[in-house]
Structure 1
Amino acid sequence: MKCPGQDTLYWKPGAIYEVPCPECCASVEFFKDDTARKCPKCGHRFVNPNLDFGCAAYCQYAEQCIGTLPEEFLLQKEDLLKDRVAIEMKRYFRGDFKRIGHATRVARYAERIGRAEGSNPAVVLCAAYLHDIGIVEAEKKYGSSEARYQEQEGPAVARDILERLGAKPPLVEEVCDIVGHHHHPRETETLNFKVLYDADWIANLEDRKKENGLTSEKVESIVNEKFLTESGRAEARKTLL
């Protein structure tokens, strides 16, 4: 049985369309499930700009379903995974909007810092969405959301989510490692960890500032002492000061 999105029986008007070649502007006809086509005029091969790669980011049968995936898509595939991870994080926390909001803000700051530092966006953003995922189990088992319990329980939950979404083993291992010690940097750390760590500090300081009026002097002191990247410090000052 074909995926309904790829079965021509379910296609609607507009499933076959023309796209201008990015090299010579000649019209190239695409079926909606074509991954890529070659321009008949200049020979340039390019990815179908209207193809929905959403399911292919996590479906283990994607290659059999839509054919050999083009190189351009493979470069984007892990980045698309973060969107599925964000959805799973929200499902896991259910109605806990405070924790969903915190993870979302950490991801936003991590994306900015990571872009400036040149980190791996797939690892950083998956770790950002999942860094506190151990809180639920920690509260069940120990009646506490203390950092050490979060770090103890988080990797197993994160691993289950990532593996269900078809993430590659190296990404799973790195994200789980970050989740397992995200409050406690080691003597030597990866850039991806540093970006997540600084982003989490910004979100936490933001909360503390709202709750108890943390002074600008105290914020500056923490930023100088605790942060691990220059881009993280710059983002913190921009956001908090």
Structure 2
Amino acid sequence: MKETNRLIMDMIDYYTGDPKRIQHFIKVHSFAKLIGTLEKLDENTLFILETAAIVHDIGIKLCEEKYGDCNGKLQETEGPAIAKDMLERLGYDAAVIERVCYLVGHHHTYSNIDSMDYQILVESDFLVNLFEGNESKAACESALNHIFRTKSGSAICKKMFA
């Protein structure tokens, strides 16, 4: 089984009984893969992006159990260690794990986005969160103007929330 598919199945197992979380990471992964491909990321960066998109919210489950809250900052604190354990168990390369854990630990931090994998992960998560949160047109426009930087992600956002 392809590495990405194996990781998706592990995340589905991880979120057994929680279709909302499963649907969320599947959608974020799909947008990340699409935008990353359209933006012509190299193969390694696209692989890291896809991996991060799949596990980006892995900290939610522990945060809900430990704190009764799963806000973005708590996810960034707790998520990387859980992602690292899963990716090591699945045999991912150490450099990939390190970068994915960095992205998991920053995916709710919108200042100092310094790379395409980081930017596209944030945009993909926003596309899904804006829809799932049934956000207002004004909120969508604000995200478009303040968060989106890629040509492809911006175009998708404009078309989705026109």
TM-score after normalising by structure 2: 0.92
- Alpha-carbon deviation of 1:158? 0.5
State which of 57, 60, 71 in structure 2 corresponds to 1:135: 60
* Cross-structure match for 2:130: 205
**Shift in Å, 1:221:** 2.8
Higher strand share: 1
Q: How many residues align?
A: 159
1:222 equivalent in structure 2 = 143
Q: In the TM superposition, what whole-angstrom CA distance separates every residue of 1:22-62 from its partner, at most 9, and x where no partner exists?
A: xxxxxxxxxxxxxxxxxxxxxxxxxxxxxxxx3xxxxxxxx
**Which gives a bigger RCO, structure 1 or 2 (Cα 8 Å, sep 6+)?**
2
8 Å CA contact 1:205–1:219 kept in 2: the answer is yes
Match 1:118 to one of 40, 52, 56: 40
Spell out structure 1 runs of 4+ moving beyond 3 A. none
Partner of 1:97: 19
1:109 and 1:235 in contact (8 A); partners too: no
1:186: Cα distance to partner?
A: 4.2
Tell me which residue corresponds to 1:62: none
Q: Does the CA contact (< 8 Å) of 2:110 and 2:147 recur in 1?
A: no
* Alpha-carbon distance in 2 for matches of 1:143, 1:221: 29
Cα distance in 2, alignment partners of residues 110 and 156 from structure 1: 22
**Which residue does 2:79 correspond to in 1?**
154
Amino acid at match of 1:115: T
The one-letter code sitting in structure 1 at the alignment partner of 2:20 is K
Alignment root-mean-square deviation, CA: 1.4
Give the aligned residue type for 2:46: P
Q: State the AA in 2 paired with 1:82.
A: T
Q: Which amino acid aligns with 2:77?
A: Q
Cα separation, 2, equivalents of 1:159 and 1:227: 28
Q: Distance in 2 between matches of 1:180 and 1:117?
A: 23
Quote how far apart the aligned CAs of 1:187 are: 1.7
Decide whether aligned partners of structure 1 residues 93 and 117 sit closer, same or farther in structure 2, where only a CA change above 3 A counts.
same
Partner of 1:170: 95
Q: 1:171-204 deviations in whole A, cap 9, x for unaligned?
A: 1000000001101034241111111110000000
